[in-house]
Structure 1
Amino acid sequence: MTLPAAPLIDPALADSRVSRIEYLILGIVAVHIALGIGSFHYNRSFFDRYIVEDGYIENITALTLLFISVILWIAAYRNNGVLRLALGFVALVFLFGSGEEISWGQRILNFQTPGELKDVNTQGEFNLHNIKLNDVKLNKLIFGTVMYTGIILYFVILPALYQFRSFFHTRSYMLLPLPKLEWGIMYLGIFLVLFFIPHGKLWELQEFTFSVFLLSSLFFQFNPKFYTLVSGGRANYTFAG
């Protein structure tokens, strides 16, 4: 039996103002970005250590993605039906992203890449995102073009629609946790500023920014419904408008 859809906006939580904690998180990210840009231009040896494989930035990104996955698993466990399946699937996606970020612990556990995979992996690593087949790089096609199109949609377009179009406040698909518009604008700014690093490793800092901003969006939401899914009891929400 499907329970009636609960109200999608909790007035007690619906505060779109940016808190001091959020400004602190934004400041920490900005410092990391400034450090990356500055070191690239003025201290290349530090930059190389800063963004090295399995280094500080990459490990923070992997741990953040793993934490996001855990939060989504908790939300999936506390819900039912289609919502549980959807949350569980997204949790798997972020678990996969965390593993890919550190090549599934290859350098930590010190195991070799199988020959067949090594032959098609541009870095000879135990992961999928560096595979190149018939001159097509999966990293560029799937983890580049497709993923970042989705990121801009999530961080900028959807929050803008949610703020300026009341229609989006009453739709059940807005169970999706949305970042506040200020976060989206900040993310877009960082995304563009990072191109001052004319080096392929700029994407390590892009991924770091994405992971921290996404984790923050789960706790400081524009639409607070997802908070209820994570912290509340079991629920069974329908996806009918």
Structure 2
Amino acid sequence: MVQNKWYIHPVIAVAVLINVFVMGLAIAWSGDQAALWRLLVEDGIVEWMQFLCFAVTSGLLAFAAVEHWQRGRRVDLVLLALAGLAGIVALAALEEISWFQRILNIATPEYFAHNNRQGETNLHNLAIGEKGSIHKTILLKIIAIVGLTHNIVLPLLARKRPAIRDFVEKFGLYLPPLSASVIYIVLVAISHLVIDHPRKGELGEMFGAVHYLATVFAAYFLGIGYGKRPVFETPADARRAGTLFAMLLVFLLMTAWLLSAGAGAGSYLQVHPDGGKG
């Protein structure tokens, strides 16, 4: 197992820096509504970064599942967890960009036009009640509870009781480094307290997407804070893969920025001056 501390390992350190950088952009642009909309609007920088991170995370989990199967050739809790998480994260990625609806310029089916808060083809914005949606009424609460438990409560308990970490890993899961998790949670809190914007919640979602992309790779592929066999078992392979992956994280942010310019952030604002609230 790789013994690197997270704060000197390029994968998690770069992920933290990317989240801090985007938080800094949001604060710097808070006085310029046009720039802030560009950051947070549908098909904007933050949303594209979410999609890219979810897509890569899903691929990593699927790869880890295949690797686990090849090593043991048996169906167990670890295999089911990795495969299940890969599917859930892939669904989140597709939901984030409304199943490529805007990119492919596909008309919204009648059902979603009448029942979706944004008039798009996705499930998480389906209406609940007069003003609510599945995302705001249900999913955000679940995400908050699971996020705090996984990132703060369990890692804290595992420091005094290592058996808790072993129990979590028995089910194919992992616990992220506590220090990195604290930074993630603090950034989410700052984004809600400091940024005055109807879509400021997108920042917290992006912070989570980047955080989990990095910690999933660090745990399952490099063995950082993870007791089971990682994909890259030798220190040399882990070092090379980690460095390349840190470079990929920076490339994803640059790609999200380019996609926001070329795939519709500006044109979307022309059609939806409110930026697509919801």
Q: Is the 8 A contact 1:168 1:174 kept in 2?
A: no
Residues in 2 aligned to 1:220 and 1:38: alpha-carbon distance in whole angstroms: 31
Structure with the bigger RCO (C-alpha within 8 Å, sep 6+) is: 2
1:211 to 209, 212, 225: 209
Q: Tell whether 2:88 aligns with 1:90.
A: no
1:193 to 190, 198, 202: 190
TM-score normalised to structure 2 length: 0.73
Name 2:276's counterpart in structure 1. Answer: none
Name 2:75's counterpart in structure 1. Answer: 81
Worse-superposed segment, 199-208 or 187-196: 199-208
1:184-238 deviation digits (Å, cap 9, x = unpaired)? 110111011011123231121111100110011123345224662x447xxxxxx
Q: Is the 8 A contact 2:128 2:137 kept in 1?
A: no
| AA at the equivalent of 1:223 | G
TM-score normalised to structure 1 length: 0.83
1:145 to 133, 141, 147: 141
Name 2:255's counterpart in structure 1. Answer: none
Residues in 2 aligned to 1:101 and 1:118: alpha-carbon distance in whole angstroms: 17
Name 2:244's counterpart in structure 1. Answer: none
Q: Is the 8 A contact 1:61 1:212 kept in 2?
A: yes
| AA at the equivalent of 2:197 | H
Q: Is the 8 A contact 1:76 1:84 kept in 2?
A: yes
Name 2:112's counterpart in structure 1. Answer: 117
Name 2:19's counterpart in structure 1. Answer: 29
Name 1:3's counterpart in structure 2. Answer: none
Deviation at 1:122, TM superposition (A): 0.7
Matching of residues 1-241 of structure 1 within 5 Å: 10=1, 13-21=2-10, 22-40=12-30, 42-78=31-67, 79=69, 80-82=74-76, 83-135=78-130, 136-171=132-167, 172-173=169-170, 175-195=172-192, 196-221=194-219, 222-225=224-227, 228=230, 230-231=231-232
Residues in 1 aligned to 2:103 and 2:88: alpha-carbon distance in whole angstroms: 22
Residues in 2 aligned to 1:217 and 1:76: alpha-carbon distance in whole angstroms: 16
Q: Give the alignment's Cα RMSD to 1 decimal.
A: 2.0
Residues in 2 aligned to 1:20 and 1:73: alpha-carbon distance in whole angstroms: 24
Q: 1:182 to 1:115 in 2, by over 3 A?
A: same
Residues in 2 aligned to 1:181 and 1:86: alpha-carbon distance in whole angstroms: 22
Q: Which runs of 5+ in 2 are unaligned?
A: 234-278
Q: Is the 8 A contact 2:54 2:90 kept in 1?
A: yes
Percent of aligned pairs with the same amino acid: 26
Worse-superposed segment, 157-166 or 98-107: 157-166
Residues in 2 aligned to 1:220 and 1:178: alpha-carbon distance in whole angstroms: 11
Report the number of matched residues. Answer: 219
Q: Is the 8 A contact 2:165 2:175 kept in 1?
A: no
